[in-house]
Structure 1
Amino acid sequence: MSAAELIEPIGAQGGALSLPDAADWLQGRTLYGGATALIAYTAAIRAFPDLPPLRAAQIAFVAPAGPEMELRRDIVRQGRNVVQVRSEIWCEGRCALTAFWLFGTARDGNASHEAARLTPFPAPATDSEPMMTGKGPAFIQNNFELRRAQDTSGPGEPVVRRWARLTDHGALDPVSELILLGDVLPPGAMRAMQRPGPISSINWSFNLIDTAPATQDGWWLAENACQQASGGYSAERLRLWNADGAQMLDGQQCVAIFG
């Protein structure tokens, strides 16, 4: 099931949604977090099609999400410029995901400051080594292309950086692509783990730096960097750049580190 097929049956009315072919998107016993975030976002924008551009989001991965779900969404507040929408995924009678989406129209600016560029910027994706070929979860193998974007491997500085794109890039609008890709890498804390063990995203919040993101040939540079890890949790910073080095998304995440 492609990303476009995943969200195709989501209607404006919300309610029950069945995705019997979504096994390709499973990560353990739940759907991949980026997929559930995309489902929740799509439910919001299809229910309320006249929303201004997306600016930010706060997403909580509350419980495992399966292929049989109920979609709920409502406008929490609509002001002159900003609209805040809540969307939820319910599975088996309990909330599996809850999200707040902040949409806002542009205003005359009273501040101007460009996002810092990553230096040194890695070699282009087309010149970089493919990764995860024939390895990893099915949702990676079937839906994403990943390429190396850093020289280090194995233990070391707790940062994971990869070029990433959808196999069917261009089938989604760019904002939806970023939401689907934003959680695709393992946490930077993976490089600081003392032994192999399972990991699980608990939440994800982000600011969309560019409300009309664009890149070349579908390639985005993704980075997960551990800010601090202890007690079985890691505080992560998640960022995405386009192929020209302009930052598109800046986020934070709490990750559970088991084992």
Structure 2
Amino acid sequence: MPPADGTDPVEPALHEADMGLGALAARLVPLGEGRFKLDGAAGWMQGRTMYGGAAASIAYAAAVKAFPGLPPLRAAQVGFVAPVGEHLEAEAVMLRQGRSVAQVETSLYCDGALVQRTLWLFGAGRGSNGSVAARIEPELVQPEDSPSLGSTDMAPAFTARMDMRRADPAGGSPHGTIRRWVRLKDRADLDPVAELVGIGDALPPGSARAMERLGPISSITWALTILGEVPATREGWWLLETSSNHMGNGFSSETLRLWNSEGVEVMHGLQSVAVFG
């Protein structure tokens, strides 16, 4: 019901702790020359740093806002240089734009210090000289048939913004591997690629299952490739897997894979992780 004075009702301001990734991207304030400012991302913090997928999603949003009309994203190389805080500045620079491929570099800064740098590769589709289909996951248990994960005191705060369900294949996951169905609770105003970037780093590394004692872990780099152009899935559910290729000397090499609800792999990645404790 409208107010008695006849004025339009005022929508309550969305608290920064309740903002989805789409709302965060919309909050980027242009400063000119490919630079943006973002104040307030409290709901996506994990300790003293922002969840890596959220920081990468903000960087992606800065790239597409700075250079409208980019072709589809094909790949990215994300460098987590230092902890990303709630308040930051983003800068997007066009390194090269050819007839079909554009390479954009984004940098995130907190208090004037570089905290994340990413190279984004965008490429228009063209006639293909042959084809290889994306892999199909044969042992697919749908999310509605998978047990939900309850929140725990040890889970990072940002995981409350996601629905997660166990998705270990029949017989269990191999040593050093974690697999989950993941869905963002708030998917408003996100394009499909922004959604993938936003959840692609949501799981702990598979090496967490091989740790002999509890201790902190931290992503250092994340290289990802999008398989196809317009990834789609049912009701927002994506199947994620992290698997350690080698763990030792305080580091782990991880393969990250992401499938849609039909079991088609839509993103493939490689990550370097520091293992402490």
- TM-score interval, normalised by the smaller of the two chains: over 0.9
How big is the shift at 1:11? 4.3
For 2:20 and 2:232, locate their aligned partners in 1 and report how far apart those are by CA, in whole Å: 21
2:132 to 87, 90, 113: 113
Q: Equivalent residue for 1:19?
A: 39
CA contact (8 A) 1:60 1:203 kept: yes
TM-score normalised per structure 2? 0.88
> In structure 2, what residue type is equivalent to 1:124?
Q
Q: Which runs of 5+ in 1 are unaligned?
A: none
CA contact (8 A) 2:205 2:244 kept: yes
Matched, 1:258 2:276: yes
How big is the shift at 1:134? 4.5
How big is the shift at 1:117? 1.6
Extract structure 1 runs of 4+ deviating beyond 3 A: 11-16, 151-156
1:176 to 194, 198, 201: 194
Q: Equivalent residue for 2:234?
A: 216
Relative distance call for 1:154 and 1:28 in structure 2 (3 A) is farther
1:163 to 168, 177, 181: 181
Q: Equivalent residue for 1:75?
A: 94
Describe the superposition over 1:129-176 as per-residue Cα deviations: whole angstroms up to 9, x where unpaired.
1114344121111x1110010168999611100000000135411111
Please say which structure displays the higher CA radius of gyration: 2
How big is the shift at 1:199? 0.4
Secondary structure at 1:133 match in 2: coil
CA contact (8 A) 2:21 2:187 kept: no
Q: Equivalent residue for 2:75?
A: 56
How big is the shift at 1:116? 1.9
> In structure 2, what residue type is equivalent to 1:37?
A
CA contact (8 A) 1:44 1:73 kept: yes
For 2:174 and 2:214, locate their aligned partners in 1 and report how far apart those are by CA, in whole Å: 15
Secondary structure at 1:253 match in 2: strand
> In structure 1, what residue type is equivalent to 2:146?
S
How big is the shift at 1:245? 0.6
CA contact (8 A) 1:24 1:138 kept: yes
> In structure 1, what residue type is equivalent to 2:183?
R
2:84 to 54, 57, 65: 65
Q: Equivalent residue for 1:7?
A: 25
Matched, 1:126 2:170: no
Secondary structure at 1:234 match in 2: strand
1:207 to 225, 229, 248: 225
CA contact (8 A) 2:28 2:38 kept: no
For 1:112 and 1:87, locate their aligned partners in 2 and report how far apart those are by CA, in whole Å: 31
Describe the superposition over 1:174-224 as per-residue Cα deviations: whole angstroms up to 9, x where unpaired.
111100000000000011111111000001011100210100000000000
Relative distance call for 1:227 and 1:18 in structure 2 (3 A) is same
Describe the superposition over 1:68-112 as per-residue Cα deviations: whole angstroms up to 9, x where unpaired.
211111100111111000011011121100000000011111121
> In structure 1, what residue type is equivalent to 2:38?
S
Q: Which runs of 5+ in 2 are unaligned?
A: 1-18
Relative distance call for 1:155 and 1:247 in structure 2 (3 A) is closer
Worse overlay, 98-107 or 62-71: 62-71
> In structure 2, what residue type is equivalent to 1:210?
G
For 2:247 and 2:107, locate their aligned partners in 1 and report how far apart those are by CA, in whole Å: 29
Q: What are the equivalent positions in structure 2 for 1:29-108 lying under 5 Å apart?
A: 29-108=48-127
> In structure 1, what residue type is equivalent to 2:162?
F
Indicate the percent of aligned positions where both proteins have the same amino acid.
45
Relative distance call for 1:161 and 1:244 in structure 2 (3 A) is same
| Number of aligned positions between the proteins | 256
For 2:263 and 2:107, locate their aligned partners in 1 and report how far apart those are by CA, in whole Å: 33
